[in-house]
Amino acid sequence: MIYVGIDVAKDKHDCCILESEADKLYLVFTIPNNKAGFDELYEKIFTVTDDKTKIKVGLEATGHYSLNLLGSLIDKGLPTCVINPLHTNLYRKGLSLRKTKTDKVDARSIAMMLMTNKTLKPYSDTSYHSEELKSLTRYRFDKVQERAKLKSSVARLVNILFPELEKLVPSLHMASMYALLSQLPGASYITKCHLTHLKNLLETASKGHYGRDMAITLRNTARDSIGSVIPAKSMELKHTIHLIEVMTEEIDEIEDSIKSIMDTCNSPIMTIPGISYRMGAMILAEIGDFTRFNYADQILAFAGLSPSTYQSGQLDSSYSHMEKRGSRYLRYALFNAAKFVCKWDENFGAYLSKKIGEGKHYNVAIGHATKKLVRTIYQMELTGEAYRR
């Protein structure tokens, strides 16, 4: 058996090739991160053996730096394991008491880890092709977070320019309010606006929901407003609303792409009440190939949702917290999906009520429901069966 450890970097990769007896077939060598470098790696691997079943490649999960190399290895048909850097770091420290950390040492540690750890499973073609869905869901997540910050800025600016407005409408973040504030960013602007123009603006933006009465109320309130007249803040408000509108269009486009991919997947996860395209897509994208997990609790550990354990001698901690070491995107999706599933499904709702009835805090009870949901999803994805109440 041949074991290939690769330490991935931006411009180059350090590689180590070992035999089953940990003998070096090549001194640790460095390849550039380009086609010539990839070809050099394959040439040295296939010089040793051309039987791909006797080759095992390992590299760390280093985000986008490893993606091109991973795709190339999979296209070559080489079994490749993607390893958590935390795992390799602990393994390297266990090999020596010396504080040694170099790229070449890391490459050898990865190769040794492949040789000694038989539980590592190759990255499957299914996982690799779910990268597009993962990119879309993470991109959407980040965009929504950015938009939320911009919305907070709108609330802050309105509180300076026209603080009374917030009490006149259900929400500042409506099409009618954005249209109003884009043209009239402050109480002083609304006061000077002609009533007919103000009425038409509101009527068009709200699709008839607001009319003359609302226009009169707004103008009268604006006249008595304590809002400041700061042109720079008014400009900032207009620009912030424009950014929110642009970002909303982008998020809608991303969600259309996610829906298109999910429709081709035909995943049974969509049959669970309360799981939408967005949460379902994020869960599937982050987990990838379900067959690489031997049981559902491994997915919990992968998401960082399993409880930490501390026991030494007679000390046994009874207040364990979640590890929170895995994918934060998967942890977010599972935790929030569980909230909606508990709301829309009777079985999960009853389970949540039972845990709360036992005296558990709501978030702790949701954590238990999340574990139940993960086990349900795991079984459904392996069998292909739809959810049964």
CA angle 56, 324, 269 (to 5 degrees): 75
Q: What is the rounded end-to-end Cα distance, in angstroms, of the chain? A: 48
> What's the chain's Rg over C-alpha atoms?
28
pLDDT at 96: 55
Q: How confident is the model at residue 352 (pLDDT cuts 50, 70, 90)?
A: very high
What is the C-alpha separation between 56 and 24, in angstroms, rounded? Answer: 15
pLDDT at 311: 44
Q: How confident is the model at residue 310 (pLDDT cuts 50, 70, 90)?
A: very low
Percent over 70 (pLDDT), the chain: 88
Higher pLDDT, 65 or 315: 65
Q: How confident is the model at residue 312 (pLDDT cuts 50, 70, 90)?
A: very low
Q: Is 102:2 a contact under the CB 8 Å cutoff?
A: no
Q: What's the token pair of residue 378?
A: 């795991």
Q: How confident is the model at residue 95 (pLDDT cuts 50, 70, 90)?
A: low
pLDDT at 195: 94
Q: In angstroms, what CA-CA distances link 328 with 287, 304, 338?
A: 12, 8, 15
State the average pLDDT over residues 86-105. 64
CB within 8 Å of 305: residues ≥ 6 apart: 322, 323, 326, 331, 334, 335, 367, 370, 371, 374
Q: How confident is the model at residue 178 (pLDDT cuts 50, 70, 90)?
A: very high
For 77-126, give the DSSP string.
T--EEEE-HHHHHHHHHHH-SS----HHHHHHHHHHHHHH-TT--PPPHH
Which class for 273: exposed (0-12), middle (13-18), buried (19 or more C-beta within 10 A)? middle
Q: For residue 122, give the amino acid letter.
A: P
State the average pLDDT over residues 119-133. 70
What is the C-alpha separation between 289 and 207, in angstroms, rounded? Answer: 46
Q: How confident is the model at residue 116 (pLDDT cuts 50, 70, 90)?
A: confident
Lowest-pLDDT range of 99-108, 268-277, 297-306: 99-108
